[in-house]
């Protein structure tokens, strides 16, 4: 499967794959925007804030280390740091020095934060149903979930300090 050159043979996408790619690419841009907009207009809360609160609410003690919260949200640690700061000024989250490792911090969901999340939930749920679930059949849902979980699975969430740096060649310019 290689020509005499060193380059691997690249098989172009089939028509179906091409269509999938285009539909995906569009949806990956528009869906988050739509969810964010609904949440923002309905609850004055951004999607990333909602997501952070959600993950905290599910964590034991409503508490997560910053880095764990960041990877749960698939955001960079620095981005997460700013989001938690925003949430903190609203009193929805507190930062607590981690016991046993004083350089670590736990983001802890406050009662106010939990209440806020609960109030935002219906808005978000309706939005998710409208923009996504209503367009999926019961069959496709489980069929695709596994695939999605593997998409870009090896990709680190930026902030290289979080992970090893995997490097590949440049091509040209």
Partner DNA sequence: CAAATATATTTGCTGCGTCAAGCAAATAGT
Partner DNA sequence: ACTATTTGCTTGACGCAGCAAATATATTTG
CB under 8 A: which stretch of 62-70, 98-106, 107-115, 146-154 binds its own copies? 146-154
Q: What's the closest the beta carbon of residue 105 comes to its own copies, in angstroms?
A: 23
Exposed e or buried b per residue across 71-100, where buried means at least 16 C-beta atoms within 10 angstroms of its C-beta: bbbebbbebbbebbeebbeeebbbeeeeee
- Site residues (vs DNA, CB under 7 A): 29, 33, 37, 46, 48, 65-67, 75-86, 95, 98, 101-106, 157-163, 165
Query: With CB cut-offs between 5 and 8 Å by kind, which of DNA, its own copies, none does residue 62 bind?
Result: none
Q: What's the closest the beta carbon of residue 136 comes to DNA, in angstroms?
A: 24
Tell whether residue 114 is a contact of its own copies (CB under 8 A).
no
* Spatial separation of the C-alpha atoms in residues 21 and 18, rounded to whole Å: 5
Q: What is the dihedral of CA 36, 37, 39, 43, to 10 degrees?
A: 140
SS3 of residue 57 by DSSP: helix
Q: What's the closest the beta carbon of residue 146 comes to DNA, in angstroms?
A: 24
CA nearest to 93, candidates 101, 103, 82? 82
Interface characters, 59-78, with its own copies (x: CB under 8 A): ---------------xx---
Query: With CB cut-offs between 5 and 8 Å by kind, which of its own copies, DNA, none does residue 90 bind?
Result: none
């Amino acid at each position: 499967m290689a020509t005499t050159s060193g380059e691997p043979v690249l098989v172009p996408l089939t028509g179906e794959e091409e269509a999938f790619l285009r539909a995906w690419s569009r949806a990956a841009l528009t869906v988050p925007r739509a969810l964010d907009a609904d949440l923002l207009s309905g609850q004055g809360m951004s999607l990333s804030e909602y997501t952070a609160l959600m993950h905290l609410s599910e964590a034991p003690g409503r508490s997560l280390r910053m880095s764990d919260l960041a990877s749960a949200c698939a955001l960079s640690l620095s981005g997460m740091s700013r989001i938690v700061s925003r949430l903190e000024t609203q009193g929805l989250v507190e930062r607590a020095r981690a016991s046993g490792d004083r350089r670590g911090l736990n983001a802890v969901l406050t009662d106010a934060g939990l209440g806020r999340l609960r109030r935002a939930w219906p808005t978000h749920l309706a939005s998710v149903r409208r923009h996504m679930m209503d367009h999926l059949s019961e069959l496709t849902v489980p069929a695709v979930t596994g695939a999605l979980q593997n998409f870009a699975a090896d990709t680190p969430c930026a902030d290289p300090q979080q992970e090893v740096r995997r490097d590949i060649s440049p091509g040209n310019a």
